[in-house]
Structure 1
Amino acid sequence: MKNLALLIILTAKIVTAQNPADSLIKQGWNPGGVVGVNLSQIAFKDWTQGGSNSLAYSLFSNFEVIYFNNPWKWRTSIKAAYGRTKLEDQGYRTTDNEFYFESILARKIGWPVDPYFALTIRSSITKGYDYKSEPTVQITDFFDPGYVSQALGFQYAHGKMFSSRLGIALQQTFANKFAAVYTDDIETTNKLEDFKFDTGIESVTEVKYNFYDNMTYLSFLRLFSRFNSIDVWDVRWDNTIAAKVNDYITVNFNVVLVHEVSQSRRTQIKEAINIGITYSLF
C-alpha cells in the first residue's frame, strides 16, 4: 500500500504540470443529478432443472452541483445507494448500503494548482449485517461508524473530466454500538471511547471519461495516512463503467476496492453488474 500511495502522489504531481481548464464549466450554477433503480426477479413452478426463487433491487442516486464564479469554484456531491435481495424463504438481506457527501471549495491563484478546502462525510444508510455468521450479526448502522474529514491543500482540476488533490487532513470517527471495533483505543484508556480523532495526509483523484458516445468510465481513488502510522494507508478505489442503452436504460459494471485496517486487515472487494432504469433530474 505504501508503494501504491507513492505512485498516486507522484502521478498527481506530474499531471499538475499541465494547464488547468474550466472552459467546460459555465459561470454560475452547474447542477447534475441521476436517480435510478435496478431490479432482478426470477420465479419457478414445476421446474425440473432446479433453481431458487429470488428478488433483488437496489436504489441509487448521484447528485452534484458546481458553482463557478471566477476565481472561485465550489463543488458539492451526494451519493447514496441501498439494495436488498431475497432468496426463497431466507428473508431480505442488505446488499448495498452507503452514503457519501463531499463539498470542495477552491480558488484560482494563477498557479497550475489551486488551494482548496474539502469536507467529506461517510456512513452506512441503515443497519448492515454479517450474513456468514450463525446467527446473523449486525455490524454497522447509520453513523455507526460515521466518518467526517476536513482537508486543506492544493488541487488540480481539468474541467469535469479530471481532478486530483493532496492536502493535510483531519478525520473524526464516530461510533455508538460498535465503538469497540471502530473507535476504542484500549492502549490509552480503560474507558470505552466512541470518538476517534486522526490527523494525516489525504489524496483524492477523480476521473470521468467518455470513451464512446454512450459509455463513461468513472473512477474515485481516496488515500489517507495518519501521521502516527505514515506507512499504513486507508484506500478506497471505486470504479464504474456505465453504458447508456437509451434515455432511461443503463448498464453499470462497478468494482470497489477498500483497504482500511480499522475495518479489516484484509482488502475488501465488491463487484456488481446492474441493468436498471435511470432518470436525469438536470
Structure 2
Amino acid sequence: MKILHNFLILIFITICTNCYSQDSLITPVVIEIKPVTAVATATITATIKIKTGLPLPIFPVSAWHSKNTVGFDLSEIAFINWNAGGVSSISGLFKGNFFRTYTSENSKWVNELIVRYGINKQDGLTVRKADDELRFNSTFGYRKDPLSNWYYTCKINFNTQFSNGYKYPDTSTPISKPFAPAYTFLGAGADYFDKENKFDVYISPLTMKSTLVLDQSLANKGAFGVNKATYDSEGNLISEGKLSKTEIGFLVTNYYKKEVWKNITMENRLSLYSDYINNFGNIDVEWKLQFDLIVNQYVSANIGTHAIYDDDVITYDEIDGVKVAGGPTLQLRQSLGVGMVYVF
C-alpha cells in the first residue's frame, strides 16, 4: 500500500512538471503532502501558485489636459423708506473659462475660451447690459531644447460680443453689435513661457490685425476705424462703408498669474499693438488685472479692472441734442463681485 502511495505521488509530480515545461508562464508547482494516517485512505493536498508572467497593462497618459471654470456673481441692494435715499438695484454676471492644453516634450498648444455676460436692473429703469465678452485664444509653440523656455510660436486671438451695446439712456441706436466690432490677431514670433511661475511673454514682429464691423449702418459711420461711407453734396449715398479693416503691425502680450497672499490670486493680461503703416508708434493697449479671493471650494470674490485704448475707436459727445464725434480716449471698466464658482 505504501509503495502504491509513493507511485501515485511520483506520477502527479511528473504530470505537473511536464505542464510547466510546455508553458513557461506557469511557475513550478508547490506541493504540500500530508502524512498517511492509520486510516487506509491517503489524502494528498496540492497548492499550485500560478503567475502569468505577463506585464501589467499600461494606460497611456494623455497629452491633453482640460480645465473648465463657470461662475455666477450676484449683487443686490434694496431700500424701503430709507431716509438717506438710494436706488434699489440688482446685478448678475455669468462667466466661464474653458482651457484645452496639449503638451509634449518640445511643444505646447494652449486653447482658451472666455465668455462673460452681465446685466443690471435699477429701480425705474429698464434692464441694461453690464458686461459682454466672447474671446478665443489659441497659441502653438515649438522649442528645439526641452530645457529652454523659449518657443517658436504662432498665435491667434479673436474677440467680439453677444448682444447690442448702447450709450444709455438712448436705447434706440446701437453703438455696437455682435461682430461689430470683432477683432482678430494672427501672427508668429517668439514666446517665453515659464510654466512653473505661470509667466508668459509673447513677442511678434509680424501680426495681422483684422477689424470686422458686420453691420452696414455702423460701417457707414466709420465705426471702429473702418472706411466710412461717402455721400454727395445732397446727402445721397455714393459708396457704402467698408465692413472690415486690415493692419500689419508689432504685437507684445504678457500673462502672469500668482498667489500674492494666501487664497488671493492675481491674474494680469496685457496686450500692446502698433501698426506699421498707420501711425506707427501709436500703441493700442488692452490691460486686464483681476484679484480672485477664494472663500472655499465653491464661493469666491473678485476685484478687477479692464482698460482699453484704441486710436481707431472714436467717442461721441452730445452737445445741444446733437452727437459730435470726439477723439479716442481711455475706456475703463471696474468690477467687484461675489458669487458661486465651479471647476471641473
Q: Which TM-score band applies after superposition, normalised by the shorter structure?
A: 0.7 to 0.9
1:182 aligns with 2:224: yes
36-45 vs 61-70, greater mean Cα deviation: 36-45
Secondary structure of the 1:82 match is: strand
Distance 2:214 2:225 in 1: 9
Deviations 1:75-118 (A, max 9, x none): 00011111110111211111101111000000112255210011
1:277 aligns with 2:340: yes
Equivalent residue letter for 2:310: E
In the comparison of the two structures, how many residue pairs are matched?
A: 255
Q: Following superposition of structure 1 onto structure 2, how do residues 107-256 of structure 1 map, counting pairs within 5 Å? A: 107-110=142-145, 112-131=149-168, 134=170, 137-159=173-195, 161-167=198-204, 168-177=206-215, 178-179=218-219, 180-185=222-227, 190-228=239-277, 229-256=279-306
More strand by share: 1
Are the equivalent residues in 2 in contact too, given 1:144–1:174 (CA < 8 A)? yes
TM-score for the superposition, normalised by structure 1: 0.85
Counterpart of 2:138 (choices 99, 103, 107) is: 103
91-100 vs 44-53, greater mean Cα deviation: 44-53
Are the equivalent residues in 2 in contact too, given 1:27–1:69 (CA < 8 A)? no
| Shift, 1:182, TM fit | 2.0
Equivalent residue letter for 1:182: F
Partner of 2:313: 263
Secondary structure of the 1:129 match is: coil
| Shift, 1:187, TM fit | 10
Larger Rg: 2
Secondary structure of the 1:50 match is: coil
Q: Which runs of 5+ in 1 are unaligned?
A: 1-25
Partner of 1:9: none
TM-score for the superposition, normalised by structure 2: 0.70
Q: Which runs of 5+ in 2 are unaligned?
A: 1-60, 231-237, 315-327
Are the equivalent residues in 1 in contact too, given 2:225–2:313 (CA < 8 A)? no
Equivalent residue letter for 1:272: S
Distance 1:137 1:190 in 2: 22
Equivalent residue letter for 1:252: N
Deviations 1:25-71 (A, max 9, x none): x9712211211111112233333332222111111111112110121
81-90 vs 210-219, greater mean Cα deviation: 210-219
Distance 2:171 2:259 in 1: 45
Higher relative contact order (CA 8 A, sep 6+): 1
Distance 2:64 2:272 in 1: 29
Distance 2:229 2:177 in 1: 26
Are the equivalent residues in 2 in contact too, given 1:130–1:136 (CA < 8 A)? no
Equivalent residue letter for 2:252: S
Equivalent residue letter for 1:261: D
Q: Percent identity at matched positions?
A: 22
Secondary structure of the 1:33 match is: strand
Are the equivalent residues in 1 in contact too, given 2:253–2:269 (CA < 8 A)? yes
Deviations 1:140-162 (A, max 9, x none): 11111111121100000000610
Distance 1:136 1:162 in 2: 44
| Shift, 1:190, TM fit | 5.0
Partner of 2:49: none
Partner of 1:8: none
